[in-house]
């Protein structure tokens, strides 16, 4: 059972669609781009899926953003270059450690 929640216009040919659906037997919130053009009409691969188990955490994160934060101008102190790195999500530590490993089988020059 799919239920479309709403859509946001991104540009002349693309909308962002929010819907609740079942994919692979797992319920969740899907946020994906939908393109309408001469070559292709349909969903693109761009998007994200929030599983039902994680939805409350996702909603809390959204609710923690104030409208003032979304409307105030970015100052020099808040520029992206000055931003602190985000804390790793569970499992991300492992990914970063794996990225640091030297690639096996490649010659040293």
**Could you tell me the CA-to-CA distances from 70 to 62, 64, 65, 74 in Å, in that order?**
11, 11, 8, 10
- First-to-final CA distance of the chain: 57
Domain of 24, CATH number, reads: 2.30.31.10
* Residue 83 domain flag: no
Write out residues in the chain with pLDDT < 70, as ranges: 74-109
Predicted local confidence at residue 89, as pLDDT: 53
Confidence (pLDDT) at 72: 82
Look at residue 9 in the predicted model and tell me its pLDDT.
Answer: 96
- pLDDT of 96: 46
Could you give the number of structural domains in the chain?
Answer: 1
Overall pTM surpassing 0.95 (yes/no): no
Q: Is residue 46 part of a domain?
A: yes
Q: What is the extent of the structural domain holding 63?
A: 3-74
Tell me, what's the pLDDT at 71? 87
DSSP-derived secondary structure for 29-95: EEEEEEEE-SS-EEEEEEEEEEEGGGHHHHHHHHHTS-HHHHHSPPPGGG-GGGPPPPPPPTTHHHH
């Amino acid at each position: 059972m799919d239920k479309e929640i709403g859509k946001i216009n991104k540009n002349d040919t693309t909308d962002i669609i929010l819907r609740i659906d079942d994919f692979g037997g797992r319920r969740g919130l899907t946020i994906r781009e939908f393109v309408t053009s001469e070559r292709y009409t349909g969903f693109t691969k761009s998007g994200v899926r929030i599983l039902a188990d994680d939805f409350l955490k996702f909603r809390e994160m959204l609710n923690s953003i104030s409208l003032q934060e979304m409307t105030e101008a970015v100052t020099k102190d808040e520029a992206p270059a000055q931003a602190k790195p985000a804390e790793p999500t569970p499992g991300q530590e492992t990914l970063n450690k794996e990225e640091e490993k030297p690639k096996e089988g490649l010659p040293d020059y």
